[in-house]
Amino acid sequence: MKRVAGYRCTICGKEYPFGPELMTCPSCGEKGILDIVYDYSEIKSVLSKESLKKDHDNSMWRYRALMPIKGEGLSDFLRIGWTPLYRSLRLGKQIGLDTLYIKDDGLNPTGSLKDRASGVAVAKAIELGYDTISCSSTGNAASSCAGSAARLGLKSVIFVPERAPLGKVAQLLIFGANVVSVKGDYRQTFELSKAAIEKWGFYNRNAGINPVMTEGKKTVALEIAEQLNWNPTDWVAISVGDGCTIGGVYNGFYDLLQLGMIERIPKILGVQSTGCCPFVDADHADGILKPTPENTLADSIAVGVPRNPVKAQRAVKNSGGTWIAVSDDEILDAMRLLGRTEGVFSEPAGVTATAGVKAAVASGIIKPHESVTVVSTGSGLKDVKNAMLAAGEPFKCEPDIKALEASGRIH
Ligand SMILES: *Cc1c(COP(=O)(O)O)cnc(C)c1O
Ligand SMILES: [Zn+2]
């Protein structure tokens, strides 16, 4: 694979050749998260704005040249990526922005942005000859992993914390995963999965540490750029748990900048819930992350010990962006707001970035004339309980037109 030059450790900077496959840096251990290093001159010979114009593959695989996989058999996969980028018609105005776009990644096959990472993980697992893939997850990584694995005929062993929403657990069971619901928090779930993966030798899809994961997630940035005709917005806002997604967003724009396909990297706004915001806390202190309780209803970003701090902090710092936290009430409010103004139904973690944009505009971090893309990272149907908490109960009526009229609900 001439396109891939090797690995580079995000901590010590040491470089390693590509293949044998590495999970983390051999000298730094588990904290030594690796970057994939590309040979951009090789990539330029196969990928350009013109080649993409002619490519009718409307999935994330249109960017396969920028992924660390051989790229065979990709047409067998579920259709991942190439999700819509809507220009906001009402929400932007309502929160004080001239130009707002909404990237609806809840429309991926299993309903979240995680499908992008799981697709690459499953492709890699098959390439390497594994028959079982495993991960620990707050829910979406799990369901996306199980879905892509089912489609490609791989077995999956999935570890979820017992608080994972029912919708996500139902997906796992429907996709035939071997589900282990761990009586503990996400940190304990991660540790158990790590031990099991070591013991039984499964392919490891854990997003924090496996370096190919960010390379799938970065396709959301590649799409935003292409959908905006290579002129991305001033800001891109994303909700943050482990930090792998935001790291991927940066990597995607970084690749495009190296390839000369965009002129600047958007400022990246990292958004967390005040109930669990180790990145925001670190940003206000000395930059070092401390273990944090996981007290937020946005379960997908309730990550007290993020596994990918380096890539996440680099994304915000190098892009000139910033960190912001919003309360669970602001998240529920944003769920209603996004649904009512744009018709996009997002889960709590999925809409956290929207709540963050609203708060950032209100506090002057984002200026009204600056353009913004907000990513909705997961579908609201995954977590109906919290959707009802945001939206309330419906009006209950006798099956009688007079009763309906008398209620005064309809005019
Ligand atoms: C996983 C997830 C995130 C955050 O991604 P990280 O890589 O953990 O930072 C945000 N929103 C949703 C819906 C997710 O599933
Ligand atoms: Zn290292």
**Ligand 1 pocket: which of 297, 377, 383 to mutate (most atoms <8 Å of CB)?**
377
Q: Which residue has the higher pLDDT, 1 or 76?
A: 76
Most trustworthy range by pLDDT among 35-39, 161-165, 209-213 = 35-39
Same domain, 186 and 227: no
Residue 80 lies in a domain: no
Closest CA relative to residue 276, chosen from 327, 351, 313: 327
Q: Are 139 and 208 in contact (CB under 8 A)?
A: no
Q: Average pLDDT in the 88-114 region?
A: 98
Residue 273 lies in a domain: yes
How far is 204 from 131, CA to CA, in rounded Å? 12
Of 181, 210, 239, which residue constitutes the final position of a domain?
Answer: 210
How far is 288 from 281, CA to CA, in rounded Å? 9
Express each pLDDT in 279-308 by its tens digit: 999 999 999 999 999 899 998 999 999 988
For the whole model, what pTM was predicted? 0.96
How far is 197 from 184, CA to CA, in rounded Å? 18
Same domain, 174 and 255: no
Res 134 pLDDT > 80: yes
Pocket of ligand 1 contains residue 114 by CB under 6 Å? yes
Pairing of strands 178-182, 155-161: parallel
Same domain, 153 and 274: no
Percentage of residues in the chain having pLDDT higher than 90: 90
Residue 174 lies in a domain: yes
Ligand 1, residue 239: give the atom nearest the CA. 10
Res 411 pLDDT > 90: no
Res 153 pLDDT > 80: yes
Closest CA relative to residue 279, chosen from 328, 246, 252, 233: 246
Residue 307: predicted pLDDT: 87
How far is 128 from 103, CA to CA, in rounded Å? 33
Residue 90: predicted pLDDT: 98
Of 145, 180, 210, which residue constitutes the final position of a domain?
Answer: 210
Express each pLDDT in 333-350 by its tens digit: 999 999 999 999 999 999
How far is 293 from 331, CA to CA, in rounded Å? 18
How far is 218 from 70, CA to CA, in rounded Å? 17
Express each pLDDT in 18-54 by its tens digit: 977 898 999 999 889 999 999 999 999 999 999 999 9
Residue 73 lies in a domain: no
Pocket of ligand 1 contains residue 125 by CB under 6 Å? no
Same domain, 385 and 352: yes
Phi-psi region of 270 (alpha: psi -120 to 50; beta: other; left: phi over 0): beta
Q: Are 272 and 211 in contact (CB under 8 A)?
A: no
Res 137 pLDDT > 90: no
Ligand 1, residue 245: give the atom nearest the CA. 7
Express each pLDDT in 372-401 by its tens digit: 999 999 999 999 999 999 999 999 999 999
Same domain, 199 and 272: no
Instruction: Indicate which CATH number applies to the domain containing 164.
Output: 3.40.50.1100
Of 153, 179, 210, which residue constitutes the final position of a domain?
Answer: 210
Q: Are 315 and 250 in contact (CB under 8 A)?
A: yes
Nearest alpha carbon, ligand 1 atom 10:
239
Residue 48 lies in a domain: no
Same domain, 145 and 279: no
Give the amino acid at 392.
G
Nearest alpha carbon, ligand 1 atom 2:
300
Express each pLDDT in 72-95 by its tens digit: 999 999 999 999 999 999 999 999
Q: Which ligand is nearest to the CA of 241?
A: 1
Q: Which residues form the domain of 177?
A: 112-210
Same domain, 107 and 248: yes
Same domain, 94 and 180: no
List C-alpha distances in Å: 142 to 134, 155, 182, 254, 366. Answer: 8, 13, 13, 28, 34
Same domain, 362 and 273: yes
Q: Are 271 and 326 in contact (CB under 8 A)?
A: yes
Same domain, 94 and 160: no
Percentage of residues in the chain having pLDDT higher than 70: 100
Domains of the chain: total: 2
Q: Are 358 and 325 in contact (CB under 8 A)?
A: no
Q: Average pLDDT in the 311-328 region?
A: 98
Q: Which ligand is nearest to the CA of 383?
A: 1
Residue 243 lies in a domain: yes
**How remote is the CA of residue 336 from the centroid of ligand 2, in Å?**
44
Residue 7 lies in a domain: no
Res 207 pLDDT > 80: no
Q: Average pLDDT in the 213-224 region?
A: 97
Joined together, the tokens standing for residue 82 give 């190439």
How far is 46 from 252, CA to CA, in rounded Å? 17
Pocket of ligand 1 contains residue 267 by CB under 6 Å? no
How far is 136 from 307, CA to CA, in rounded Å? 12
Residue 405 lies in a domain: no
Joined together, the tokens standing for residue 56 give 């009718």
Same domain, 220 and 313: yes
Pairing of strands 4-9, 15-16: antiparallel
Residue 166: predicted pLDDT: 87
Q: Average pLDDT in the 268-284 region?
A: 98
Output the average pLDDT for the chain.
95
Residue 187: predicted pLDDT: 84
Residue 1: predicted pLDDT: 80
Joined together, the tokens standing for residue 73 give 């058999």
Same domain, 135 and 258: no
Ligand 1, residue 248: give the atom nearest the CA. 7
Does an H or E element contain 265, and which? none
- For 287, counting Cβ atoms within 10 Å of its Cβ (0-12 exposed, 13-18 middle, 19+ buried), the class is exposed
